[in-house]
Structure 1
Amino acid sequence: MTRRTWVTVVLVAAVVALFALPLLLGAPSDYAGTDSLATEQIQASNPDYVPWFDPLFSPGSSEVESGLFALQAALGGGVLGYVLGRLRGRRSRAAAGATDGER
């Protein structure tokens, strides 16, 4: 195997370990997101607090909410990757044009 293949295998194993270790170590199952934890803290410190607005859409279950969040993250990553790819391509085309013009 080449060095590049070994690096890829090690990186994939590290990502799998990042996901598997919390499951194997028995991470708490009552995990809550930061939004709900912040809401609990605000309500505990100020019981008279009234939110400024209500959500426009409330998913039926936490699984749907997690799926929508993952979809949002994937779309954002796709847009970011596309923009960075376009910028890199623009830079490499400009560099190729500068070297062709100097010949």
Structure 2
Amino acid sequence: MKTSTLIILGVICIVLFIAPLVMYSGLGENEGYFGGADDAAGETIEESGFEPWFSSIWEPPSGEIESLLFALQAAIGAIIIGYAFGYWRGKGKEE
């Protein structure tokens, strides 16, 4: 690669690294800075007075267990998708 291309890519990387730090206003999770669409939807549903018609069969004892189960689910899905792509790629090379 040319030296000018490497310099431009380096400047872009630095800007992409520093821009979020500059744009961060110092507000934390308690002030709603990191609140997402799920939080907003949950608050709107609670304000409407909606009553769920069923309850969960089992609720994890802590947030850490819930995060673990979510990560496990994501890992299993990634393994299945990776296997499928690898299988299809292997079949294509075989032919």
Report the TM range for the smaller structure's normalisation: 0.5 to 0.7
1:40 Cα offset (Å): 2.4
Task: Give structure 1 regions of 4+ aligned residues with deviation exceeding 6 angstroms.
Answer: none
Number of residue-to-residue matches in the alignment:
71
1:42 to 35, 42, 45: 45
Question: Which protein has the bigger helix share?
Answer: 1
Which residue does the alignment assign to 1:57?
58
Distance verdict in 2 for CA 1:41–1:28, change over 3 Å: same
Structure 1 gap segments, 5+ residues each: 1-16, 95-103
Q: How does 1:1-103 map to 2 (within 5 A)?
A: 28-30=28-30, 35=38, 37-44=40-47, 46-47=48-49, 49-94=50-95
TM-score (normalised: structure 2) = 0.58
1:33 Cα offset (Å): 7.3
TM-score (normalised: structure 1) = 0.54
Structure 2 gap segments, 5+ residues each: 1-16
Distance verdict in 2 for CA 1:59–1:32, change over 3 Å: farther
Identity %: 38
Partners of 1:52 and 1:70 lie apart in 2 by: 28
